[in-house]
Structure 1
Amino acid sequence: MLDAFQTAADHGVNTTAPGYLAYFSAGGLFSSALAELLAQTYNRFTCVADLAPALVAMEHGVLHWFCERFGLPPGSIGLTTTGGSMATLTALISARHDRLGDQIAAGTLYVTEHTHFCVDKAARIVGLPVQQVRVVPTEGLLMDPDAARAMIRADRARGLRPFLLVGTAGATSTGTIDPLADLAELAREEGLWFHVDAAYGGGFQLTARGRARLSGIENADSIVVDPHKSLFLQYGTGILLVRDAAALGAAHRGGGHYTQDGAVVHGLHDYGYLGPELTREFRGLRLWLPLHLHGVGAFRDALDEKLNLAEAAYQRLTADQLFEVPWKPDLTVVAVRLRGDDQLNHHLLERINASGRIFLPAPASKTASSCGSTR
């Protein structure tokens, strides 16, 4: 049976291989896998703190640490999810409940063409039609705050109810970071919930360069981080951070008579009442163990190395007259194309990927067509 599993696993792309330069790979730390083995073996129920208070406290401690790293104030809260999609859905539900209540028919939210499609997917799940997801024009691949302001005010004048502004801290297609500080100020002025998708870029908050480039993220109402991207952990690991714990709880509260015997554990949250899931495994250990075992400095050094590698790749590519590099990387996504037409670039991309040694993604954006992007 183990041989059958090994054979099946070998039929697929190894996303941790050196030649995998597409999208974002999962590091797959063995220490995190070991943590998951322990958590699944003990199989404790952590949706309600009363049933596993010490384990919930371990998870709570890690999430509180993340809130502090992102500069969120006292009273902020974290939730470990299966990934960015579930974290985004939870954030959107919270924003909708906080700003619209039950009156969602006219609610509008604001994204760009580079916003991850999980936002659009989450909007459909909660009942917002596609026309209420408003696409703001970009300037230099980034959301244009002035254009967003004009759209918000025009929609409000039409009787719509703008409630959510989404900024991106590391777009999947371009690697770029929206002007988070300006967008946070716009959201505050217009009374919108400000959400930042930092699924890819959030891990770089541990570095000095990352903090500088993510300036303004501390003013977000909610932040999504995927440790399986820029913190090298296993797939299925996501984090939602929310500025106001009460807003998260109010959007997901509930209960039944069968919960009457549960005791409140002071200082700990019942995770089952902070998101859609009422049953969840103990996810905190896959974060807690690697951070404590290896130390935060090991993660910081690895992330700094990735920033250095991206800068080195950018410098070498820009010095080569064969290539065009349309923009300097904000983080670790380097977009590049051959000088020539799109057909020539697609042909090169096909030849590279056909080798089976290197995997590069398709063109990064409609705005600046590229041969591929290295991560």
Structure 2
Amino acid sequence: MSRRQLDWPDTEVGRLARKAVDAFVEAQRIDDRIVPADFSGKDVLATELDCCPPELARDEDTLLRLFSAAGRNAVENRAARFMAFFPTRGLPAGSLAAMLAAGYNRPTGAPDYAPHLVRMEHSLMRWLCELFALPGGSIGTMTSGTSMSTLIAVAAAADTLPDVTSRADATVYVTEQTHHCVAKALRVAGFPATALREVPMTPDWGMDAAAARRMVAADRAAGRLPFLLVGTAGTTANGAIDALGELADLADDEDLWFHVDGAYGGFFQLTERGGRRLAGIGRADSIALDPPKTLFLPFGTGVLLVREAAHLHRTFSQRGDYMTDLDDDSLPSYTDLGPELSREYRAAQLWLPLHLHGVAAFRETLDDMLDLAEFAHDDLAGDPALDVGPPPRLATVVFRLADGTDEDNRDLLRRINHDGRTHLSGCVVGGRYFLRMTVLNPATYRSEVEGALAGIHDAVRRRVLTHQRGGGA
């Protein structure tokens, strides 16, 4: 009997895998120019890619070439001077781990069929719970990212309300800088837009805990049901950290679920400075973490830690009739901790880099990022043409022209990014547009930061000269 075409022999798997590994190694080559000059060949490439799968097999070399061209013809977010949004290096060890996990393709939602892989994930989650000083009874689960982690946390918090009908009167406390994934999660969980309460910020752009306390009291007096307080350990725009200890006090006093968005800043808990700045985070009911940002892993890995595992079990524990033979309770069943049943084995992407490099390597890199951000802030603060934000709590520095409009600052960003060798992004804080510079890449050293700063100062000088002459761009 002849083999089906989808049933490859080991020799065929090995032959194509070697080609794929060669393509992977080539993919690790990082261009100095961040933005391709003209996305060369993009029209031809788009035509080749914009087609339906064929009825018959295509040539593997052509397919690998097309995939490599699509991946290469992009903004180089892994470059040492890509400092926009969150630089996403994607450690090769994480990518290789994902390949290995996919190669085994084991079901790990429950421990019955791959108990040792589940044990690897459980050991990581225990370590993280200990890192954040969460008590016994806490638990963690890996997700696709912080948006999914937040949705799971919101769903669990919502189940602390008396019943589903009470969601119409429920209130949630955030700031203008709270990540919008919280609002999306609330919508998906069935809460009206009126549930959100925007708390004023302090001068350093964190949540004003005293104002939040007053708002909670006013809502209770008006017959509403305050139930969720969202703190942020590193805002996306500028890295501001809420006074987590004060917010934890408020949550305790008012019996609120206290969720901390630690997607950006959470893993700075590994460092001494980060631990001090995140004081109080261990009192949260739930913490969302994003390894791609500050453990430099590939996209698609997230973590949710929850203070009491029972909350997740109450919300997500279900059993189908076809699952009656799954009865191994010696390890967590991750299908009971979130909405996914068939789930990718994401733990490999965290386990291999941490064990291969050692935790100290990540701690030292994060400490270096804090140092480089402080250096960049001090340098920019010395330029009289710039208005620089507060000293960085994490690895983001924000600044703007001291005498410019928001449009002037957008034009400054275009000037800085124009040569394709430094790439920053912009943000709005307190109604004003700022440029933001995030130093968060293991390949970024002081020389790269100095090069980026030189480009910023040069763009500022050219803009000032143009303005003085009354000319255009």
Does the alignment reach a TM-score above 0.5? yes
Identify the range of structure 1 (275-284 vs 337-346) with the bigger mean alpha-carbon deviation.
337-346
Of 195-204 and 280-289, more deviation after overlay is shown by: 280-289
Of 293, 315, 324, 2:356 maps to 293
C-alpha RMSD of matched pairs (Å): 1.3
Corresponding position: 1:138 with 2:201? yes
> Aligned partners of 1:101 and 1:282: how far apart in 2?
34
Using the TM superposition, give the Cα deviation of residue 6 of structure 1 relative to its aligned residue in structure 2, in angstroms: 1.3
- 3-state SS of 1:324 partner: strand
State TM-score, norm by structure 1: 0.97
Aligned-partner Cα distance in 1 for 2:177–2:338: 26
- Matched with 2:342 is 279
Number of positions where the alignment pairs a residue of Structure 1 with one of Structure 2? 374
> 2:320 corresponds to which residue?
256
Q: Structure 1, residues 60-102: CA drift from partner, whole Å, max 9, x if none?
A: 0001100100111111100100100000000000111124443
* AA at the equivalent of 1:200: Y
Q: Taking structure 1 as reference, are residues 77 and 170 closer, same or farther at Cα in structure 2, changes over 3 Å only? A: same
Q: What SS does structure 1 have at the residue aligned with 2:425?
A: coil
Q: Which amino acid aligns with 1:250?
A: R
1:232 is aligned to 296
Distance 1:288 1:338 in 2: 44
Out of 141, 144, 153, the position equivalent to 1:79 is 141
SS of the counterpart of 2:133? Answer: coil
Q: Secondary structure at the match of 1:209?
A: helix
Distance 1:321 1:184, change over 3 A: same
Q: Please, which of 280, 285, 288 is the counterpart of residue 216 of structure 1? A: 280
Q: Is the 8 A contact 2:168 2:192 kept in 1?
A: no
Give the distance between the partners of 1:252 and 1:104, measured in 2 at CA: 19
Measured against aligned partners, the alpha-carbon deviations of 1:5-57 in whole angstroms (never above 9, x if no partner) come to 11111222121112211111222111111111111110000001112111100
Structure 2 CA distance for aligned equivalents of residues 255 and 42 of structure 1: 25
User: Relative contact order: is structure 1 or structure 2 higher (C-alpha 8 Å, sep ≥ 6)?
Assistant: 1
Q: Does 1:345 align with 2:409?
A: yes
Equivalent in 306, 309, 320 of residue 242 of structure 1? 306
The alignment status of 1:28 with 2:119, answered yes or no, reads no
- 2:283 corresponds to which letter in structure 1? N
Residue equivalent to 1:62:
124
Give the 3 Å change call, closer, same or farther, for CA 364–105 of structure 1 in structure 2.
closer
Aligned twin of 1:42: 104
State the SS of the aligned residue for 1:94: helix
Q: 1:236, 1:305 → 2: CA distance?
A: 25
- Counterpart secondary structure, 1:369: strand
Give the SS at the match of 1:172: coil
SS of structure 2 residue aligned to 1:51:
coil
Preserved contact between residue 363 and residue 369 of structure 1 (Cα < 8 Å):
yes
Q: Which amino acid aligns with 2:361?
A: A
Note if contact 1:99-1:193 (Cα within 8 Å) is conserved in structure 2.
Answer: no
Question: What is the one-letter code of the residue matched to 1:113?
Answer: E
Q: Distance in 2 between matches of 1:177 and 1:362?
A: 19
Distance 1:114 1:372 in 2: 14
Q: For the Cα contact (< 8 Å) 1:338–1:371, is it kept in 2?
A: no
1:116 aligned to 2:206? no
Q: Deviations over 1:128-185 (max 9, x none)?
A: 1111111111122111111111111111122211110000000001210000000000
Tell me if structure 1 keeps the 8 A contact 2:144–2:301.
yes
1:126 to 160, 173, 189: 189
Is residue 98–residue 251 contact of structure 1 (8 Å, CA) maintained in 2? no
- 1:273 is displaced (CA, Å) by 1.2
Equivalent AA in structure 2 for residue 136 of structure 1: V
Equivalent residue number for residue 161 of structure 1: 225
> What CA deviation, in whole Å up to 9, does each residue of 1:91-116 have, x standing for no partner?
00011112444342221111000000
Mark the runs of 5 or more structure 2 residues left unpaired by the alignment: 1-62, 440-473
Does structure 1 residue 371 correspond to structure 2 residue 443?
no
Q: Which amino acid aligns with 2:119?
A: A
SS where residue 304 of structure 2 aligns? strand
State whether structure 2 residue 79 is matched by structure 1 residue 14: no
Instruction: Tell me the CA shift for residue 367 of structure 1.
Output: 4.5
Secondary structure at 2:339's aligned position in 1?
Answer: coil
Amino acid at match of 2:363: R
Q: Contact 1:334–1:374 (CA<8 Å) still a contact in 2?
A: yes
Which protein has the larger Cα radius of gyration, Structure 1 or Structure 2?
2
Structure 1 unaligned spans of 5+: none
Say yes or no: does 1:328 pair with 2:387.
no
The one-letter code of the counterpart of 2:417 is N
Query: In structure 2, what is the Cα distance between the partners aligned to 1:154 and 1:320?
Result: 45
Q: Distance in 1 between matches of 2:297 and 2:425?
A: 22
Indicate the residue corresponding to 1:202 in structure 2: 266
Shift of 1:347: 1.7
Separation in 2, partners of 1:262, 1:364: 50
Stretches of 4+ aligned residues off by more than 4 angstroms? none
Structure 1 range deviating more: 101-110 or 47-56: 101-110
Structure 2: distance between partners of 1:336 and 1:281:
40
The Cα shift of 1:370 comes to 2.0
Task: Decide whether the 8 Å contact of 1:84 with 1:225 is kept in 2.
Answer: yes
CA distance in 2, matches of 1:117, 1:364: 14
Distance 2:391 2:100 in 1: 43
Q: Which amino acid aligns with 2:426?
A: A
Please tell me whether the aligned partners of residues 324 and 336 of structure 1 are also in contact (alpha carbons under 8 angstroms). yes
Match for residue 446 of structure 2? Answer: none
Q: Deviations over 1:277-302 (max 9, x none)?
A: 11101111111111111100000011
How far apart in 2 are the matches of 1:27 and 1:97?
37
Question: Deviation at 1:345?
Answer: 2.0
Code of the aligned partner of 1:209? R
